[in-house]
Amino acid sequence: MNPIVVAVDGSDTSKAATKVALELAGAAGNPLLFVTVWRELRGDFGLPYTTLIAPDVVEVERDWARDTLAAAVSVAERAGIPAEGLSRHGRPAHEIVAVARERSARLIVVGSHGFGPVESIVLGSVSAGVLRHAPCPVLVVPAPTER
């Protein structure tokens, strides 16, 4: 059965999107595929901190992605919903859409915004990028305080 792809980043909005995805998966019987996308932290002039400060910074981002996915999958498993976690490296909207294509997703569920308001201004909203390029329907879940 085609999965529901859920973009997660550990933010409150991401947790709200997970909650909605759990309800949909429970009603429709689809498995969940949680996706998080990490990239190196960047400093001045766009240079990765790995070249400026310490190579260990990459491990911090990878660990964050692993922990974020484990938490989301655990929530789904406790709810009795089959779930899988997938970590990708790169641009979030691009990678989320790529996963949805590769796995023939039934739906993508994404929060209206996650961590990094400054990053959203500079790089663009992940949810807007997913909406523009998705191969399937997209459900954008507002932040808990916006509902």
pLDDT digits (tens, 9 = 90+) for 21-74: 999 999 999 999 999 998 765 555 555 555 555 556 667 778 888 999 999 999
Share of the chain above pLDDT 70, in %: 78
Share of the chain above pLDDT 90, in %: 59
CATH number at residue 79: 3.40.50.620
The verdict on residue 1 lying in a domain is no
Q: Which residue has the tokens 């997970």?
A: 18
The verdict on residue 49 lying in a domain is yes
One-letter amino acid of 100: A
pLDDT number for residue 120: 47
For the chain, how far is it from start to end, CA to CA, in angstroms?
A: 31
For residue 2, the 8-state DSSP code is P
Residues 6+ apart with CB under 8 A from 145: none
pLDDT number for residue 56: 63
Q: How many CB atoms lie within 10 A of CB 44?
A: 6
Task: Please provide the average confidence, as pLDDT, over all residues in the chain.
Answer: 84
The verdict on residue 89 lying in a domain is yes
- Taking phi over 0 as left and psi of -120 to 50 as alpha, with beta for the rest, 134 belongs to beta
pTM score of the predicted model: 0.83
pLDDT number for residue 122: 41
Domain count for the chain: 1
pLDDT number for residue 57: 62
The verdict on residue 21 lying in a domain is yes
Residue 27 to residue 132: CA distance in whole angstroms: 27
pLDDT number for residue 72: 97
The verdict on residue 65 lying in a domain is yes
| Domain of residue 52, residue span | 6-146
Residue 98 to residue 92: CA distance in whole angstroms: 10
pLDDT number for residue 99: 98
pLDDT surpassing 90 at residue 87: yes
The verdict on residue 45 lying in a domain is yes
pLDDT number for residue 63: 87
